[in-house]
Amino acid sequence: MTLLGDMEPAEAESVYFNEYPPPKSLPKHEALARAFIDLHVEDKRRVVLVTSGGTTVPLEAQTVRFIDNFSAGTRGATSAEYFLQQGYAVIFLHRQYSLLPYSRHYSHSTNCFLDFMDEASPSADSPNQNHGPIQVRSEYQDEMRDVLRKYRYAKQNNRLLLLPFTTVAEYMFELRAMAKLMRPLGPNALFYLAAAVSDFFIPRSRMAEHKIQSSELPANLDNSSAIGSQEIYTGENEVQPPKSQKKLVVNLDPVPKFLHRLVDGWAPDGSMVVSFKLETDPSLLVYKARTALQRYSHHLVIGNLLSTRKWEVVFITPDPPHERWIRVPKARRSKSISGVEDQVGLAEIQKGGQQQPQPQEVADYSDETRDGIEIESLIIPELVKLHDKMIEKKTQKE
């Protein structure tokens, strides 16, 4: 059997999208996006499609169980705010219930959002002396006012469109549709692919229709012994569901890498495509990012390590200098439970087995938070400069 990953991109696209029905919400999302894009084409405004959050991989057609990843959508939601500050309109294609621009400041806080509010004393002329007005606590007034004003401006001026997805198949349908709708934008279109897209999936044709059944494991089950074929349940459609406990062994196929199709088929001519590469091994990061750039022939790969992603990233580009590191100055780094300070710079040091000269840290303290500078406040302005150059080259050629 030929895997989708072994097919030509156009053939893999046809086979993959025929596996699933389009999401029920797709026509509504297309209508909203078309009106949004037409407005900004008329105003000659740049539009960025920001993808954000993780994708689920259902194990059953009527989904009870699914495979997921850790992504909460922090990178995407934060970046969207800084794109808006740079004058872009943003289509925010996000995992449902993941972080959203602006509300992330409170939904992702260590405090419950109710901790930011108080009930004031009722006024003397209040019709109900038992009910005082709800207000923001004094220590949060300035910060919340700033966030609220930015959010209201984006919404009132139609600069932000929120479109949700859940599964990896829904994400693919939405990405393809949005890219084609953005064609009238030409080089004013930017794709910022920050979503953590699943690498593997179960084709719909092999997926169990109903919930995969289970029962209590036998007390004498020896996990170290060889597993016979009669003790394995694949989760796929079977003539008879299992009557006794079996180990669940799921056979996943690789999700086709549709970045080829986005660059060479779906996206507007002259548009900019930016992807991300996340690794845990410092010795692999730059190599994997370079390989992705060469394989898909797009414009920028932003590489980051899981342990240092809040403090440093590397821009891998086809043009010189090819590799450029962006770091938050040490004194301004945000706190991170999962971060490992000792690994900052390690991916660069290990390149070629020799220590490299440290890049100049980009120091911009204009967008500080309670925990320090958000690295997205450094990433997005640098990315906009690259987009400026692309548009300038396109204009000169014409």
For the chain, the average pLDDT equals 87
pLDDT for the residue 257: 87
Query: Which residue's structure tokens are 């490992």?
Result: 340
384 closest CA partner among 62, 32, 79, 176: 79
User: Given a cut of 70, is residue 192 above it in pLDDT?
Assistant: yes
pLDDT for the residue 392: 95
This prediction's pTM: 0.87
pLDDT for the residue 1: 52
Per-residue confidence band for 360, with pLDDT thresholds at 50, 70 and 90: very low
196 closest CA partner among 287, 283, 9, 68: 68
pLDDT for the residue 211: 85
Q: pLDDT of 237-268, one tens digit each?
A: 555 555 556 677 888 999 988 999 999 999 99
Partner residues linked to 26 by β-bridges: none
pLDDT for the residue 39: 98
- The answer for residues whose C-beta is within 8 angstroms of residue 209's C-beta and 6 or more apart is 60, 61, 62, 237
Mean per-residue pLDDT, 167-189: 97
Of 125-129, 202-206, 301-305, the least confident: 125-129
Per-residue confidence band for 364, with pLDDT thresholds at 50, 70 and 90: very low
pLDDT for the residue 12: 86
More confident residue, 276 or 356: 276
User: Could you tell me if 341 and 334 are in contact, meaning their C-beta atoms sit under 8 angstroms apart?
Assistant: no
Q: pLDDT of 204-244, one tens digit each?
A: 888 888 888 765 444 443 444 444 455 555 556 555 555 55
Q: How far from 41 is each of 35, 88, 155, 188, 268, CA to CA, in Å? A: 10, 12, 18, 9, 13
Q: pLDDT of 142-156, one tens digit each?
A: 999 999 999 999 999
* Tokens of residue 187, six digits: 């080089």
DSSP single-letter state for residue 56:
B
Of 153-167, 168-182, 321-335, the least confident: 321-335
User: Given a cut of 50, is residue 366 above it in pLDDT?
Assistant: no
* Tokens of residue 343, six digits: 């690994």
Distance between CA atoms of 113 and 119, rounded to whole angstroms? 14
pLDDT for the residue 314: 98
pLDDT for the residue 129: 79
311 closest CA partner among 353, 222, 373, 357: 373
User: Given a cut of 60, is residue 19 above it in pLDDT?
Assistant: yes
- Terminal Cα-to-Cα distance of the chain (whole angstroms): 47
